[in-house]
Amino acid sequence: MMSRAEKTGLGVAFSGHVLLFGLLSVGFLATPNPMKLRNDPVEVQFVDEIGLKSAFPKPAIEEPAPSIAPEIGMAQDSPPPAPTAAEPAPPAPAPRAAPQPAPVKPTPQKPTPARQASAPPSRNPARDVGSARAETPQPRRGSLLGDDFRKGLAATARRQATGDTPRAAVVGPQALASLGAAIARQIRPCYDLGPLGGTAAMDIVVKVRLQPTREGVVTRQRLEIAGFSGVDGSNSMYQARMAEVARNAVLNPRCSPLELPAELYEGGWQDITLNFIPRQLG
């Protein structure tokens, strides 16, 4: 059936194919992997920090400065001319019109009733301050300059403000989240999954408790693997290795000490628990 030429051809073709695929198998013409296609490092994220305590800044408790000079009442408009006046008398200037008794009925031209409540009974507003303040508590309008202000500045040398910046009572969840982001940013270059990347091991979330010193140094004693989540039958054998990856990332001298805001140390990153979520970027 097959001629001699075809048998030769078959032999040549077969050996040629074997040679070609053998060369390809040992990496002949293989493209190098210049970009080192690796999985992206993970992002550390807080998932269980909720705001149980108020992180609102403390309100200022300093009292306002007391008045020294006698307080004066509110500035008041002079009462408008009476609408009953039919004669075309020219409007009198305010000081002359002041003693004229105003009618009891409310004037329709004034749309602000708060002013009118106090305006009509006070004919001499400069002397009759007490009754007006008894009705509606007003902010004190006394001057801080007393009669003896020319005696020197010593009397006014008291502190006007305490100078303390209002501090948060506790480090709140938002501050903790930004702390977590800062820690994640610093740890990320050192978090190397290696051959575990892309495998089921990436489902494992490692919870790491850190107790850095004030200088941001984390030692092996100050680090504790607090737990795992996402472990199931397919990846339980990677559990220890994932914990080791997280520990190595934190302890890597390239990424330590942690540089974090010092004012958030106490109650903040003095004792902080992080979740390492490998699949955060997947």
Q: b/e for 80-103, b at 16 or more Cβ within 10 A? A: eeeeeeeeeeeeeeeeeeeeeebe
Number of residues engaging other proteins in binding (CB under 8 A): 36
Residue 35 is a binding residue for other proteins (CB under 8 A): no
Q: Do the beta carbons of residue 202 and residue 38 sit within 8 Å?
A: no
Residue 6 is a binding residue for other proteins (CB under 8 A): yes
The interface region with other proteins, picked from 9-17, 52-60, 96-104, 204-212 by CB under 8 A, is: 9-17
Residue 3 CB, shortest distance to other proteins, in Å, is 7
* 207: β partners: 227, 275
Residue 233 is a binding residue for other proteins (CB under 8 A): no
Residue 282 is a binding residue for other proteins (CB under 8 A): yes
Q: Provide the residue count of the chain.
A: 282
Residue 37 is a binding residue for other proteins (CB under 8 A): yes
Pick the closer one to other proteins by CB: 23 or 177: 23
* The binder of other proteins chosen from 98, 200, 225, 251 (CB under 8 A): 200
Residue 89 is a binding residue for other proteins (CB under 8 A): no
Residue 20 CB, shortest distance to other proteins, in Å, is 9
Which two three-digit tokens encode residue 224? Answer: 């504790």
Pick the closer one to other proteins by CB: 235 or 256: 235
Residue 205 CB, shortest distance to other proteins, in Å, is 15
Run of H or E including 195: none
Pick the closer one to other proteins by CB: 213 or 236: 236
φ, ψ of residue 264 to 5 degrees: the values are -100, 15
* The binder of other proteins chosen from 59, 139, 195, 253 (CB under 8 A): 195
What is the Cα Rg of the chain in Å? 41
Decide: helix, strand or coil at residue 44.
strand
* The binder of other proteins chosen from 146, 173, 197, 257 (CB under 8 A): 197
HEC letters along 114-178: HHHHHCCCCCCCCCCHHHHHHHCCCCCCCCCCCCCHHHCCHHHCCCCCCCCCCCECCCCHHHHHH
Which two three-digit tokens encode residue 173? Answer: 């969840």
Which residues in this chain contact other proteins in the complex, by CB under 8 A?
2-3, 5-14, 16-17, 21, 24-27, 30-33, 37-39, 195, 197-200, 202, 234-235, 279, 282
